Structure 1
Amino acid sequence: MKVLVTGADGQLGYDVVKKLEELDIEHIGVDKEDFDLTNEKETKEFILDYQPDVIIHCAAYTDVDQAEVERELCYQVNVNGTRYVAEATKELDAKMLYISTDYVFDGQGEEPFEVTDEPNPINYYGETKYQGEQEVQKLLDKFFIVRTSWVFGEHGDNFVKTMLKLGKERDEILVVADQYGSPTYTGDLAKFIIEMIKTDKFGIYHATNDGFCSWYVFAKMIFKSANMDVNVKPVSSDEFETKAKRPNNSRLSKEKLNNKKFNKLREIDVFIDHYVKSIN
């Protein structure tokens, strides 16, 4: 098996490449320096020249607030770029795994979203990721779409690192308490992705670490793991003014993982201690 990973310098792509190395699977990790995803010719030429059996497409425009401003660039990367990758995948008759997001849903209600629920994005980033999903489904038969949420890893910036930094600078931190989801460790997700691409169980999946919490509860878990005495104050999302609206309910159902006999990712509280200690 020969694997190409886009977005190799991002949080998830970095860990996918690391896991492929550990498993001694032939691969290449690519990023902006290798080709411009918004350039159809560059993108297709690079992929067709490498001739992978599987493409894991982690690359994306992910700045949710800035996406409301840089709409054209966000569209070019998340929609056009995904289409170019999918077209090259089709030409090679390869498999493609596309990383999507909880933001394809509107966040209404309190029940976890199923893979069969109708997407209804409430911000532009989510809209472009959903359109990317549609491009993949339209062009390919051999595809995996993996929706995930609240990712954090050892490479790059994330919520955990931000909390630890702020905790050293302040005695009190305000954290949103009315948005719920599943924090997802990229190391666990990368392991799952490689397990998935070895199969032909194609389709749409939700993959996050097991368990749900609010950002407020997650922040408290982080400080407890770091043995930091920080007063975390819960606030509503209405009190935080952002360019892009966030879904209040980002719970994703992992029932399909059970049905297709995939191993579920670990419980959040099982690994958070280890993760915090490793980066702190």
Structure 2
Amino acid sequence: MKFVVTGINGQVACALKALEQSEHQIIALGRPNLDLARPSTVFSAIREAKPDAVISSAAYTAVDKAESEPDAAFAVNRDGAQAVALVASELGVPVIHLSTDYVYDGKKLTPYVETDHTGPTSTYGISKLQGEQAVIAANPNHAILRTAWVYSPYSSNFVKTMLRLAETRDEVKVVADQIGCPTSANDIAAMVSTIAKELSSNHDPELRGVFHVAGSGEATWADFARYVFLVYEEITGRRIRVHNISTAEYPTPVHRPANSRLDCHKLEQTFGRRLPHWQQSVRAVVSTLLSEGTHA
């Protein structure tokens, strides 16, 4: 089977390429050949690839910058996502679209389920929610996967930032009043591959819709950092201390959701799989980065 993934340098796109197996081919398309801000390139690039499924993973992800660049965020996250779904529909193939916990306001006290009210509070979150809606309208053969707190051996992310800080510091301050589900892009890629194959061969409507895809278990950012440094200490012998701080002590232009936990029972019930516990996956990524020396 042949799968097209939008984006070349994104975490999930890179993880999919690394996961590529003999039974399927991954074609990563990105700028300038495929530019979500220029829909004509989306149509021509994906048509030429003739895929069995399209994985829509590229996005405008600069959460803070989106507040001053709303046109760019909506051009990519809404209009670009719509173009990807439309060309997949034209080709008669499913689209798997990656979305985010930012479609929620983060005020719920328990993990979010797919049917919970959405109420994004940032331009980024609004653009991603409107992207979801555009995909649903453009192609009924879709799976929308909401995820959160993504990290991997690729691109920029929280784990790589913590390991970089560990090179020059003995202690760091990390927010402890936001809670979520750390999620490995490697695990997302494996699940996306499973879903793409299912949607390509099975027309059951129960396999379509919105799903949460996140690491099992939960943590605060400070918990997340402590575990990264626990594995780091086991490998290097150096101990890094983490000091808890509040969101108010680490202000950002966009308020981050206090609760980013995603309930993934629907995913497990539908596809018979769940992502591993976040600590297991963090250990694997940290070990990879330190062994390869690619965390700096």
When the two structures are superposed, what TM-score results if normalisation uses the length of structure 2? 0.91
Hey, what does 1:247 align to over in structure 2?
257
Taking only aligned residues, the RMSD between alpha carbons, in angstroms, comes to 1.2
- Amino acid corresponding to residue 163 of structure 2 in structure 1: L
SS of the equivalent of 2:167 reads: helix
How many Å separate the matches in 1 of 2:34 and 2:108? Answer: 41
How many Å separate the matches in 1 of 2:146 and 2:220? Answer: 19
How many Å separate the matches in 1 of 2:109 and 2:165? Answer: 30
How many Å separate the matches in 2 of 1:270 and 1:18? Answer: 19
Hey, what does 2:7 align to over in structure 1?
7
How many Å separate the matches in 2 of 1:23 and 1:60? Answer: 28
TM superposition shift of 1:48:
1.6
SS of the equivalent of 2:77 reads: helix
Hey, what does 1:125 align to over in structure 2?
124
Hey, what does 2:91 align to over in structure 1?
92
CA contact (8 A) 2:195 2:271 kept: no
TM superposition shift of 1:209:
1.1
Structure 1 segment 198-237 matched on structure 2, within 5 A: 198-200=197-199, 201-227=207-233, 228-237=238-247
TM superposition shift of 1:261:
3.7
Structure 1 residues not aligned, in runs of 5+: none
- Amino acid corresponding to residue 186 of structure 1 in structure 2: A
Which has the higher mean CA deviation after the structures are superposed, 265-274 or 204-213? Answer: 265-274
4+ residue stretches of structure 1 with deviation over 4 A? none
- Amino acid corresponding to residue 245 of structure 1 in structure 2: H
Hey, what does 2:110 align to over in structure 1?
111
Given the alignment of the two structures, is residue 184 of structure 1 paired with residue 183 of structure 2, yes or no? yes
Structure 2 residues not aligned, in runs of 5+: 200-206, 291-296
Which has the higher mean CA deviation after the structures are superposed, 258-267 or 78-87? Answer: 258-267
TM superposition shift of 1:116:
0.7
TM superposition shift of 1:123:
1.1
Percent identity between matched residues is 35
TM superposition shift of 1:114:
0.3
TM superposition shift of 1:274:
2.6
- Amino acid corresponding to residue 5 of structure 2 in structure 1: V
TM superposition shift of 1:273:
2.2
When the two structures are superposed, what TM-score results if normalisation uses the length of structure 1? 0.96
CA contact (8 A) 2:47 2:87 kept: yes
TM superposition shift of 1:70:
1.3
How many Å separate the matches in 2 of 1:54 and 1:238? Answer: 43
- Count, aligned residues: 279
